Amino acid sequence: MKGQVLAVMAMMAVAHLSALSMAKPPKGEQNKFKKLMKRFDYESWESCNNSTCLKNACECDECVVCDAETDSILSVDWSGVGLQLHKGKVPQKDISKFLKKAKHLESFDITNNTALLEDSRDCIKLKECSKNEELCEADFTICNMPTGAPTIAPRNYANEWEYFYDVSNGAGWNKEAGKFTPFPCTGKGTGKVKAVDNKYIYCTDGYLTEIYFHNQYVDGEVSPEIIEAILTSPGFTSFYIHDDDYALTTTSCIDSMHEIFEPYGPVAVEDFVADNITICPLDDPVEDETEAWTIMFDALGGKDWKKCSGKRTNPSDCNYLTQVGGYFTEINFTEKMGFDDVSDLKYEILKFAMTLQFLEVFDISGEKVCFSEEYQDLLGCDDTVECTFHASCDDEEEE
């Protein structure tokens, strides 16, 4: 009998804990919502700016709607509340992180905030918005939004494709996949065309939006302007050409690509794989990132490091860093660098890493520098950045 009573009590306790956990709003999207409010300088807003909204978005009734049972955020209406730029720009990275975490979000409205129009960029890349054209409302231009494309090849894309076909050995392409000429998206709807095994192109409402050629025998030399024309065709998302025995090259590196890449990073499309095509570095890399490197370098005694001690002004020559088009994308301090043991060591590294707009890998396993969970969240670890720390960090208590 006693055992039955204990079992019932245990079940009641579990049910109570489950109820408590259900009452809490989803942590990930709440954290990103809170950070986004701060990035938009919520204290200066005309409404939706109280501390209650900051602590729990679902208690901000005037601008947020949540699911009654799960507290998942369903809609955010910040229209006309007075959103501000962050360091002169729309905080696209923070918006993207929130939209990615808010799995059940149906509407995100940031219209009628005139300050956001002062961002000088031609368009703002918000991938979740471009994937779902009904999700976001904004007065600025969102990159790669559907444009109601016609069902036939627009402008001169057909000519550009056929030129690409001719100069890259189109007649000798793998016969299994057929000859992709004339322009294969003409008169087509949406879907794969000439798809066989690992070889296809993808059309979206008459536009060429993906090329995936694996061992398609693509060979030859093409002008960089043609590659640029393909990459900038409306809605284009993926360029993949890999051959074990053949090589597609360009007459020179692809220049002026910063006009395509800006403002959203070193690649304009989700995937760009072409073994022998190089992209010219930007003439003027992001000044904030270069400055942040020199500040950290000086603060941590860079001139006396065991590695990269002479790379204060040319970090691209440090084998433990990766840059694409002037942007830092990887930090791989997998060996002991020899940082000075300064009191704000973590802060200097964190400040540098947080400046990097397109960081994908943050590996400092060579140094015993451990970051708390809060710091890791600031870096985007387990979200947009792959983070690795010293093995001993797993045994340390979080700060």
Summarize pLDDT for 8-22 with one digit per residue, the tens.
344 444 343 344 334
Helices within the chain (DSSP H only): 2-23, 27-39, 51-55, 92-101, 127-131, 157-167, 224-231, 258-261, 287-299, 345-355, 373-379
Amino acid 66 reads C
Task: Judge whether 9 lies within some domain.
Answer: no
The answer to whether residues 21 and 129 belong to one domain is yes
The token pair that represents 88 in the structure block: 């002169």
Task: Judge whether 346 lies within some domain.
Answer: yes
Question: What's residue 279's pLDDT?
Answer: 65
CA distance 106 to 156: 37
Comparing 57 with 150, the larger pLDDT belongs to 57
Task: Judge whether 145 lies within some domain.
Answer: no
Task: Judge whether 146 lies within some domain.
Answer: no
Residue 80 has pLDDT above 80, yes or no: yes
Residue that terminates a domain, selected from 245, 274, 303: 274
Question: What's residue 267's pLDDT?
Answer: 42
CA distance 381 to 331: 13
pLDDT per position as a tens digit, 226-250: 777 777 766 777 788 878 777 788 8
Task: Give all strands (DSSP E) within 94-237, no chain letters.
Answer: 107-109, 136-137, 191-196, 199-204, 207-214, 220-222
The whole-chain average pLDDT of the chain stands at: 76
Q: In this structure, what DSSP letter does residue 95 have?
A: H
Task: Judge whether 280 lies within some domain.
Answer: no
Length reported for the chain: 399
The token pair that represents 90 in the structure block: 């729309």
**Contact 41/57 with Cβ under 8 angstroms?**
no
The answer to whether residues 113 and 171 belong to one domain is no
**Contact 320/362 with Cβ under 8 angstroms?**
no
Question: What's residue 357's pLDDT?
Answer: 77
CA distance 332 to 108: 36
Q: Starting at the edge strand that comes first in sequence, how are the strands of the sheet with 238-242 ordered?
A: 191-196, 199-204, 207-214, 238-242, 271-274
Question: What's residue 373's pLDDT?
Answer: 80
Shortest CA distance to 143 belongs to which of 238, 206, 232, 37?
A: 232
Question: What's residue 194's pLDDT?
Answer: 65
The answer to whether residues 51 and 21 belong to one domain is yes
Question: What's residue 76's pLDDT?
Answer: 94
pLDDT per position as a tens digit, 22-49: 444 466 788 888 889 988 999 899 888 8
The answer to whether residues 203 and 259 belong to one domain is yes
Task: Judge whether 368 lies within some domain.
Answer: yes
Question: What's residue 18's pLDDT?
Answer: 41
Amino acid 385 reads V
High-pLDDT (> 70) share of the chain, %: 76
The answer to whether residues 166 and 106 belong to one domain is no
Cα 194 to chain centroid, rounded: 30
Shortest CA distance to 70 belongs to which of 35, 108, 129, 28?
A: 28
The answer to whether residues 266 and 368 belong to one domain is no
Task: Judge whether 332 lies within some domain.
Answer: yes
**Contact 94/32 with Cβ under 8 angstroms?**
yes
Question: What's residue 81's pLDDT?
Answer: 92
The token pair that represents 253 in the structure block: 């590196």
- CB burial string 289-318: b at 16+ within 10 A, e below: bbebbeebbebbebeebebbeebeeebeeb
**Contact 296/356 with Cβ under 8 angstroms?**
no
Q: Starting at the edge strand that comes first in sequence, how are the strands of the sheet with 321-324 ordered?
A: 321-324, 327-332, 361-363, 386-388
Question: What's residue 83's pLDDT?
Answer: 93
Q: What is the domain extent for residue 48?
A: 14-137
Helices within 46-135 (DSSP H only): 51-55, 92-101, 127-131
Task: Judge whether 1 lies within some domain.
Answer: no
